[in-house]
Each structure stands twice: as structure tokens, then as C-alpha cells.
């Protein structure tokens, strides 16, 4: 038996400790990111008179700003805007950005590139007078190599970016204008992993083991061939899981794809409840010196769309409870901010949402990173049109020249995200109705499958029924419909239909071999806090899709009871009831999670933002949010509405959304006005009661025992302001945000539900107010101002840190009301 002396034992323990710490080298601790932010200190000029870069003269006045930047959001809403109210009534224009910078001498032996995550639109870029190229698509990321044209050392470099969003209309929704996503400078060795150069897949996943295939494109920009080792290491947090190494010889100025296989024992799976991530770090070493490192997120999961059982994730059926999102961030416009996206996703998660459709374009990379981290099932969509345009100057004009490159770049950029489960090659594409569309779809499908075979492909098609004829079901049952040639072509892995929930039950008859997904649903319409008198009738606004809307009211509001829908859509309840009922319906993506700027259906000017959101433009939930929460989450829900400020004697419809209970009893000023229970597939209950000021209290019960109680009260006159921050400590990094809600309360602290006071805001400390918004689709007050009129007693203020730490003191005032102050700490 081996006898160890005490010293030997201590020595051995020490060696073990060293080995353990070496193995714990995380991707993060030693990892040197090749990308650095290139967002700050750009000069900007908005002027249609400068039409080419040579006419920029010494007299041109530039302002200094940081990107991401959306110049439109600072503009004035304009009834005559060529963008139309559909585009948010904010004009596009022609903008110029430039930036001077120095590059260290030691980088002269390296490769330096600039990456734009998205520039809307038609951007052109010059470095030191050399033209780098043009990119029409505003939503795609692109990179230019700068090295051949750079000055190194003390001499300046100048980059100029022209952004041309002057041809309008080019979008059916608010696009924003400018360098609206992040910009990065990437410096690598001449031997490096190519841009979007890894492709990590998990062809076999069991509880015991996951096979991980790693395909890496190595790029050698040296004029000599190179011998190197490529090591791919998989980490779980800080712990090394496994590692594979391969020696390569790569020719001069060549690309080489290498394939490596690894195994992860007892993998921790990615799911919507626990989105577990691994990190894959690729290292290229020459003569034992690491010359390049590249990081890829990995989520190990196994999924399929089943003909009978719908979406199966890691062996379990998961109903996709998704929402569609446009890319704007309400009052922040289209300029991306990671915290603002994260907040949107948090609000969606709280409601029970588990899926996001990036309608109708590739999103900011940060959205996908967050979906990976937070657990969403993403449908990543490429296009809103193919060759046939939907608005005069849209991407259809660029289709022939660019669609292939744009699609490939989207696939390369996005295919490692574990949150992406479906590729959508287009939304409501007019060509779906003819053979030309089938031809294009075949081309797009071939490209998609060339770059990723691990996910199914769909298209969000228009339903093959006439939604203007009331009995949609009958049309389908009688086979009195023309199935879209695209759907019939067999090109799609998943049949995706927008709307026509009445037809979903017939899907298996028409497509016995292809699973189904409701790519877009509902299109309910609501204004937060506004209620029409009779709630149990359903209104179609407009009455049919080809008719101009006549009706509504002078204030351009829509009832927030779930009773108003577009003719092509449904109420929220109607579609969810169908999706819920059948296992084979894998899920749905509701139009929309959040309101967005533009497309103010059913209204036109003066409305400028949408009514479709379950949550308004400011981020305040409308009532139907709680219907979904009662159905989609484990939270105990009892939500009663409307507010309790009406005219004496007026009959008010009171709705309740609830769960975990078998009845709800309502009391007005202590007296019961009746018990209600949901029957059959009901999703709410209702009372009609004559208004009397006071307190309306609801109690939900299960087997006679109280589950939860809630009450609403008649508010007196507006008296006080109250400020509540979503986070009262933020990072002093110049980007972080605190979202502060301003509530208008009566003297006793009850929200004044009809208050629409003008709120004046001021901020002391190192930071600024970067957005104000009430969620009112008719408001024309600037989102970038410091005063705003509240809607239904509420308004939102967004405060941004700068790079200095300290106290930020936000004060809200309104005539005749007691002001309020809140302190936010920037750390």
C-alpha cells in the first residue's frame, strides 16, 4: 500500500488545487473579446442637400452623439409625412455620420473590421475616402474590413456613413432612421475565426449525453500558409466541460472549414423555464501562442414539431404562447438599448409568454442573446416582402440584387442561438398565391437548409379563406377555398397561417403530413384604460379589410374590454380557445405583445401608433394581459376592471379574469352583487351593475375557501403624483435605464383613472431623461421631451445613466398636484 508522508500529502493537495483552478478557467476570465464598442462620439448631420460625400464642406454643422441613434424619433409628427401614419408620421430623410479615430501601430499587422448590426437604410460607408460599400437592407448586420485603408499611429482615420431613408414610404410600420443598432470594431490576428465563423449543433441529445458538432471557418489572411492548432472548449459557467483540439495547415489567403465533435455528459438542457447555456470558446494557436479567441453560446436541447402533439421540447409537449414584436422600443424609437429590450421581455415573461416572433425582419442581436438567456421560443423572420413591393420604395426594389446575401447573412449570424426554433422566410408574401412564389420559396428554402438543417422552415401565409365572409369555417369545410400554392408546394416544413383561427381545426384534413403553427393571430384592438359601455358585443373595426373605417369616436380610442378586433383577426379569447383545445396546434404568435409606432389600425391620423399591443407603448399592460396571465402562468390571478369612476346610475360591465378558483363573488360597497363562474371554455366572467361610487371588491374561492381578494375604488380628484422606478439602482455605464412610472393619485392614494394632467419632469445628477410616453396612440407630444400628458392616470419616464456614478433625482410636477421626487442611484 502506498504510504504518503504528510509533506507528500500536502504537496499532492496543492497540485490538485492548481489543477482544479486551471480547469476552472472560464470563457470569461481569460477570454479576450475581439469586438470593442464603436458607439461613442459620432458626428451627425441631417440634411437632404448634401447628396454625396464630397459636398460635405467645412461649413457643414455637425452635432455629436452616440449610436445606436434614430433621428426620426426626435422629429415632429407630421400629417403630411410621406411615411404616412402607417410609418408613424415621422419623416425619414438623409443622414450623415462621421467619426475620427486612431489605430495603434501594433495593430498594423492585424486585421481590423467594422461591424454595423443594422443601419436603416441604404447605408454607404467610406474609410479615409475609400468606398467600402452599400447595404440597402436596414435590418441586417454587415461588416467591412478597414485594414487596407487605415492610418496607424498618430494619424487620424475618418469613417463616413451615409444613411438614406429619404424615399418614402418604404415600410408598413415605423422603421426609424440611422445607425440604430450597435457598431463594433473588431481586431484580429490575420489568422482568425471568420465573421460568424462557428456553427455549433447538437445532433443527438439524451439525458446521458449530448453530441456536439462544431464547424469552424478559419480564415487565413496571411500571404503565407500557416500551421496552427484549433482548440474548442465547452464551458458551463466557469467550469470546463470538455475540449477538442485539431492541428491544421491552412493555405495563404484561404478559408478552411474544420469539423470537430465533442460530447457533453449528462447535459443540462435548455428550456423555457430554465434556459441553461454553455459557452463554446474557439482558440487558434500558432507555436503555442493563442492568436485568436471566439465565443459562441450553446444551448443543448432536443425538439420537434409533431403532427399530433405539436411542439415537443426535450420530450415534453410545450404550447408556444408567443407574441409578435416589431423592433421599436416605444419612446426610445428604433435605437436599440439592451435594457429596454430586456424590460420588454420581462414584461412578456410575467404575462406567461414563451415565444417571440421577430416580425418581420432580423432583430437586433441583443434580442436573440436575451431570448437565449431568458428562455423564449423564437421564430426568426427574414422578410415582409419578396420581389413584389408592399409600399412604393420598400425592399422589394432591392430583392433581386440582395435577397440571397441578406438571407445567408441572417442565417450565419443567427443559427447558433438556442432560442431560435423556426425560420420564417416571409410574412404575408403576395407571391404565395402564384407559382412564382413557389419558385422563390424553393430558392429560399434551399439556402436556408444549406446553412441550417436543424430547424424547420415556415412562411407566415395569408389564410386561404375570405375573411370578409362571416362563416369562415364553412368555406373551409366545403373545401371552397384555394390553398395557397406556396402551402401546397411542400416546400415548407411547417404550415404557418396568419389569422383565421376558425380554420385551424381543419388543418389535419388539408395537410395530413405537415405540422401547423399559427404564425400570427388575433389583432385585437385596445386603448389602455378606455372602456365602451356595452362589452358583450363584438365589433369588427373596420368592418371588412378592404373598407375604410367609419365609426369609432372623436378621441380615436378603442374599448379595452376584449371586444374589438380587426376583420381578419379575432378577440384575444377566441383564438386562444382554439389553440388551447388541440394538441396538434403547436402554438401561436399574437399580434402584438407591445404596441409599436405606426400602423394605428383602425384609425388614421391623428393616431400614429398601434392599438394591437397587449401592453401599450409605454409598457403598461392593458387588461387582457391578465387574461393571458391567468391562463399561462402559475401566478394566482384575480383582475377586475374597468376602473370605478362612472356616472351615478350608469350600468357598468365588470369583468374578472381569474384562475385557481371555481367562482368569484363581487361586492359593491359591502353588498354582494352576485357570484360568477366560468362555464365551458369561458375565459372571463362578467356582471352588469348600476354604478354607485365606493368600493368594488372581488373574492375568488375554491371549494368555498378564499383564494384571493382584490378591490378597486372610486377615485376623488387628482391630488398627488407618485413615482415608482422599475430599478432604483442602475449601472453608471452611459446606457443603463430606469423606467419610472408616474401615477396620478387622489388624496387617499387611489389611481385617478381619467386623469390626463400634463406632467413636467426634471432630473438632477449625472444622467438624462431619454423618453416620455403615456401609451396614447393619439399623442403628438415629443417622446424626447420633458413634459407629457398622462393617459388614464399614468405616464412613463425613462432615465438614462451617464458614466459618472451618483444620485439621480427625478422630480415630476403637474399644475395643482403635489409633486413627487425619486432617487435613482447610478453605480
Compute how many residues bind ligand GAL; rule: CB under 6 A.
11
Q: Does 591 interact with ligand GAL (rule: CB under 6 A)?
A: yes
- Locate 61 and state its grid cell: 454643422
Question: With respect to ligand GAL, which residue has the nearer C-beta, 125 or 481?
Answer: 481
> By C-beta, is 71 or 596 nearer to ligand GAL?
596
Smallest gap from Cβ 384 to ligand GAL, in A, equals 7
What cell numbers appear for 525 in the block? 384592438
d(CA 600, CA 609): 5
Task: Please check whether residue 808 is in contact with residue 825, taking contact to mean a CB–CB distance below 8 angstroms.
Answer: yes
The residue (of 526 and 566) whose beta carbon lies closer to ligand GAL is: 566
CB of 632 to ligand GAL, least distance (A): 22
State in angstroms the smallest separation of the CB of 587 from ligand GAL. 17
Nearest to 165 by CA among 307, 70, 67: 70
Q: What is the 3-state secondary structure (H, E, C) of 441-500?
A: HHHHHHHHHHHCCCCCEEEEECCCCCCCCCCHHHHHHCCCCCCCHHHHCCCCCCEEEECC
Instruction: Kindly state the smallest distance separating residue 460's Cβ from ligand GAL, in Å.
Output: 7
Which residue in 337, 514, 566, 757 binds ligand GAL (CB under 6 A)? Answer: 566
CB of 592 within 8 A of CB of 686? Answer: no
x/- map, 115-154, ligand GAL, by CB under 6 A: ----------------------------------------
Nearer to ligand GAL, 8 or 547 (CB): 547
Rounded to an integer, what distance in angstroms lies between the CA atom of residue 578 and that of residue 728?
42
Smallest separation, CB 508 to ligand GAL (Å): 24
Closest residue to ligand GAL, based on beta-carbon distance: 523
Beta carbons within 8 Å of 52's beta carbon, 6+ residues apart: none
Distance of closest approach, residue 568 Cβ to ligand GAL, in angstroms = 6
CA distances from 247 to 227, 260, 438 (A): 7, 11, 44
Give the position of cell 394632467: 757
Per the document, the length of the chain is 827
Closest separation in Å from C-beta 463 to ligand GAL: 10
Strands (E), 40-190: 42-46, 63-65, 93-101, 111-116, 123-127, 130-135, 142-145, 157-165, 183-188
Q: Which is nearer to ligand GAL, 569 or 775 (CB)?
A: 569
Q: Which is nearer to ligand GAL, 216 or 523 (CB)?
A: 523
How many degrees, rounded to 5, is the angle at CA 399 between CA 398 and CA 405?
100
Element (H, E) at 385: none
C-beta closer to ligand GAL: residue 279 or 566: 566
Cell of 444: 429560399
Decide if 194 contacts 257 (C-beta within 8 A).
no
Binding ligand GAL (rule: CB under 6 A), the pick from 117, 380, 406, 428 is 428
Closest separation between CB of residue 610 and ligand GAL, Å? 8
Burial environment of residue 385 by CB neighbours within 10 A (0 to 12, 13 to 18, 19 or more): buried
What whole-number distance in Å separates Cα of residue 31 and Cα of residue 283?
A: 10
Query: Is-catalytic flag, 428?
Result: yes
Q: Say which of 186, 520, 573, 665 is annotated catalytic.
A: 520
For ligand GAL, which is the closer residue by CB, 51 or 538?
Answer: 538
Minimum CB distance to ligand GAL smaller for 188 or for 592 = 592
- Contact pattern from residue 247 through residue 286 relative to ligand GAL, giving x for each residue in contact according to CB under 6 A and a dash for the rest: ----------------------------------------
For the segment 796-815, give every residue that binds ligand GAL (CB under 6 A): none
Q: Is the dihedral of CA 51, 54, 60, 65 positive or negative?
A: positive
Nearer to ligand GAL by C-beta: 222 or 427?
A: 427
Q: Which helix (H) or strand (E) holds 474?
A: helix 472-477
CB of 573 to ligand GAL, least distance (A): 17
CA distances (Å), origin 526, targets 157, 481, 499, 559, 579 = 51, 32, 18, 5, 22
Query: Which CB, 542 or 782, lies closer to ligand GAL?
Result: 542
Phi-psi sector, 89: left (phi>0), alpha (psi -120 to 50), beta: left
Residue 88 or 95: the one with the smaller Cβ distance to ligand GAL is 88
Position 596 contacts ligand GAL (CB under 6 A): no
Q: Please count the CA atoms within 13 angstroms of the CA of 127 that sit on its side-chain side.
A: 19
Per CB under 6 A, 557 contacts ligand GAL: no
To which residue does cell 444620485 refer? 807
Pairing of strands 316-317, 310-313: antiparallel
Comparing CB distances to ligand GAL, the nearer of 190 and 501 is: 501
How far, in Å, CA of 773 to CA of 789, rounded?
8
| Residue 248 main-chain phi, psi, to 5 deg | -135, 155
| Cα separation, 79 vs 91, whole angstroms | 10
Concerning whether 520 is annotated as a catalytic residue, the answer is yes
The three-class DSSP label of residue 374 is helix
Q: 724 φ, ψ to 5°? A: -135, 125
Touching ligand GAL, residues 71-110 (CB under 6 A): none
Instruction: Return the bridge partners of 712, or none.
Output: 696
Q: Quote the least distance from Cβ 599 to ligand GAL, whole Å.
A: 6
The answer to whether 245 and 230 are in contact (CB under 8 A) is yes
Residue 377 in grid coordinates = 421560443
Q: State in angstroms the smallest separation of the CB of 809 from ligand GAL.
A: 41
The minimum distance between CB 111 and ligand GAL, in angstroms, equals 40
Task: Name residue 54's beta-bridge partners.
Answer: none
Q: Whole-number minimum distance, CB 585 to ligand GAL, in Å?
A: 19
Catalytic residue among 186, 366, 428, 431: 428
Pairing assessment for the beta strands 787-789 and 758-764 based on DSSP bridges: antiparallel
Contact string 155-194 vs ligand GAL (x = CB under 6 A): -----------------x----------------------
List the alpha helices (DSSP H) in 375-433: 399-414
| Among residues 427, 556, 559, 714, the one that binds ligand GAL under rule CB under 6 A | 427
Binding mask 476-505 for ligand GAL (x = CB under 6 A): ----------------------x-------
Among 715, 696, 699, which Cα is nearest to 707's?
Answer: 699
Closest to 589 measured CA to CA, from 367, 312, 380: 380
Q: Are strands 355-357 and 377-381 parallel, antiparallel or unpaired?
A: parallel
In the window 504-533, what residues touch ligand GAL (CB under 6 A)? 520, 523
Residue 201: its H or E element: strand 191-205
C-alpha cell at 692: 354607485
Which residues contribute to the site for ligand GAL (CB under 6 A)? Answer: 172, 427-428, 498, 520, 523, 566, 569, 591, 599, 601
Task: Give the catalytic positions in this structure.
Answer: 428, 520
Amino acid at each position: 500500500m502506498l504510504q504518503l508522508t504528510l509533506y507528500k500529502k500536502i504537496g499532492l493537495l496543492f497540485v490538485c488545487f492548481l489543477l482544479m483552478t486551471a480547469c476552472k478557467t472560464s470563457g470569461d476570465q481569460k477570454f479576450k473579446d475581439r469586438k470593442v464598442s464603436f458607439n461613442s462620439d459620432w458626428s451627425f448631420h441631417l440634411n437632404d442637400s448634401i447628396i454625396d460625400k464630397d459636398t460635405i464642406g467645412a461649413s457643414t454643422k455637425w452635432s455629436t452623439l452616440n449610436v445606436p441613434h434614430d433621428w426620426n424619433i426626435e422629429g415632429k409628427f407630421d400629417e403630411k409625412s410621406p411615411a404616412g401614419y402607417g410609418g408613424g408620421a415621422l419623416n425619414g430623410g438623409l443622414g450623415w455620420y462621421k467619426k475620427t479615430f486612431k489605430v495603434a501601430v501594433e495593430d498594423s499587422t492585424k486585421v481590423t473590421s467594422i461591424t454595423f448590426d443594422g443601419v436603416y437604410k441604404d447605408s454607404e460607408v467610406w474609410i479615409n475616402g475609400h468606398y467600402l460599400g452599400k447595404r440597402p437592407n436596414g435590418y441586417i448586420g454587415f461588416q467591412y474590413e478597414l485594414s487596407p485603408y487605415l492610418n496607424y499611429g498618430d494619424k487620424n482615420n475618418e469613417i463616413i456613413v451615409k444613411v438614406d431613408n429619404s424615399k418614402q414610404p418604404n415600410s408598413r410600420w415605423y422603421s426609424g432612421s440611422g445607425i440604430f443598432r450597435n457598431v463594433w470594431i473588431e481586431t484580429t490576428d490575420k489568422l482568425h475565426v471568420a465573421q460568424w465563423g462557428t456553427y455549433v449543433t447538437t445532433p443527438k441529445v439524451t439525458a446521458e449525453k449530448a453530441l456536439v458538432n462544431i464547424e469552424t471557418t478559419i480564415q487565413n489572411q496571411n500571404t503565407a500558409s500557416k500551421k496552427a492548432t484549433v482548440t474548442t472548449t465547452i464551458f458551463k459557467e466557469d467550469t470546463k466541460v470538455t475540449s477538442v483540439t485539431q492541428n491544421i495547415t491552412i493555405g495563404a489567403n484561404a478559408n478552411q472549414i474544420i469539423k470537430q465533435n465533442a460530447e457533453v455528459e449528462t447535459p443540462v438542457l435548455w428550456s423555457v423555464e430554465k434556459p441553461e447555456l454553455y459557452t463554446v470558446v474557439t482558440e487558434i494557436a500558432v507555436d503555442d501562442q493563442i492568436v485568436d479567441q471566439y465565443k459562441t453560446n450553446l444551448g443543448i436541447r432536443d425538439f420537434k414539431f409533431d403532427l399530433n402533439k405539436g411542439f415537443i421540447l426535450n420530450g415534453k409537449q410545450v404550447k408556444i404562447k408567443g407574441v409578435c414584436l416589431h423592433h421599436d422600443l416605444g419612446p426610445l424609437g428604433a435605437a436599440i438599448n439592451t435594457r429596454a429590450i430586456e424590460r420588454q421581455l420581462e414584461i412578456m415573461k410575467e404575462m406567461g409568454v414563451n415565444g417571440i416572433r421577430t416580425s418581420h425582419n432580423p432583430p437586433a442581436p441583443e434580442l436573440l442573446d436575451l431570448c437565449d438567456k431568458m428562455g423564449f421560443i423564437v421564430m426568426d423572420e427574414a422578410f415582409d416582402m419578396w420581389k413584389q413591393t408592399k409600399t412604393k420604395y420598400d425592399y422589394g426594389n432591392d430583392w433581386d440584387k440582395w435577397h440571397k446575401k441578406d438571407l445567408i447573412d441572417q442565417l450565419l449570424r443567427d443559427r447558433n442561438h438556442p432560442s431560435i426554433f423556426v425560420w420564417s422566410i416571409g410574412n404575408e408574401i403576395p407571391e404565395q398565391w402564384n407559382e412564382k412564389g413557389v419558385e422563390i420559396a424553393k430558392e429560399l428554402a434551399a439556402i436556408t437548409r444549406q446553412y441550417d438543417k436543424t430547424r424547420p422552415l415556415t412562411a407566415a401565409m395569408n389564410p386561404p379563406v375570405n375573411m370578409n365572409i362571416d362563416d369562415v369555417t364553412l368555406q373551409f369545410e366545403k373545401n371552397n377555398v384555394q390553398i395557397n400554392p406556396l402551402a401546397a408546394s411542400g416546400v415548407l416544413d411547417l404550415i404557418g397561417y396568419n389569422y383565421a383561427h376558425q380554420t385551424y381545426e381543419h388543418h389535419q384534413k388539408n395537410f395530413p403530413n405537415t405540422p401547423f403553427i399559427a404564425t400570427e393571430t388575433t389583432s385585437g384592438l385596445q386603448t389602455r384604460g378606455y372602456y365602451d359601455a356595452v362589452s358583450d358585443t363584438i365589433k369588427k373595426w373596420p368592418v371588412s379589410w378592404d373598407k375604410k373605417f367609419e365609426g369609432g369616436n372623436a378621441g380615436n380610442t378603442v374599448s379595452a374590454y376584449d371586444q374589438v378586433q380587426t376583420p381578419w383577426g379575432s378577440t384575444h379569447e377566441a383564438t386562444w380557445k382554439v389553440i388551447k383545445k388541440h394538441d396538434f396546434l403547436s402554438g401561436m404568435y399574437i399580434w402584438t405583445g407591445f404596441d409599436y409606432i405606426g400602423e394605428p389600425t383602425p384609425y388614421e391620423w391623428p393616431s400614429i401608433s398601434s392599438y394591437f399591443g397587449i401592453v401599450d407603448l409605454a409598457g403598461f399592460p392593458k387588461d387582457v394581459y391578465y387574461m393571458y396571465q391567468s391562463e399561462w402562468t402559475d401566478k394566482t390571478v384575480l383582475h377586475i376592471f374597468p376602473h370605478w369612476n362612472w356616472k351615478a346610475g350608469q350600468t357598468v360591465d365588470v369583468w374578472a379574469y381569474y384562475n385557481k378558483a371555481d367562482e368569484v363573488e363581487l361586492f359593491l360597497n359591502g353588498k354582494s352583487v352576485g357570484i360568477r363562474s366560468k362555464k365551458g371554455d369561458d375565459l372571463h366572467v362578467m356582471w352588469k351593475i348600476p354604478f354607485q361610487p365606493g368600493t368594488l371588491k372581488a373574492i375568488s374561492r375554491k371549494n368555498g375557501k378564499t383564494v384571493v381578494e382584490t378591490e378597486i375604488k372610486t377615485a376623488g380628484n387628482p391630488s398627488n403624483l407618485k413615482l415608482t422606478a422599475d430599478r432604483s439602482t442602475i449601472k453608471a455605464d452611459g446606457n443603463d435605464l430606469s423606467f419610472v412610472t408616474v401615477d396620478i393619485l387622489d388624496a387617499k392614494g387611489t389611481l385617478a383613472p381619467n386623469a390626463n394632467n400634463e406632467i413636467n419632469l426634471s432630473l438632477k445628477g449625472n444622467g438624462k431623461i431619454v423618453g416620455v410616453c403615456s401609451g396614447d396612440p393619439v399623442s403628438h407630444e415629443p417622446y424626447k421631451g420633458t413634459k407629457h400628458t398622462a393617459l388614464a392616470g399614468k405616464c412613463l419616464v425613462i432615465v438614462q445613466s451617464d458614466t459618472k456614478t451618483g444620485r439621480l433625482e427625478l422630480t415630476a410636477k403637474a399644475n395643482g398636484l403635489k409633486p413627487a421626487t425619486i432617487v435613482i442611484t447610478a453605480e
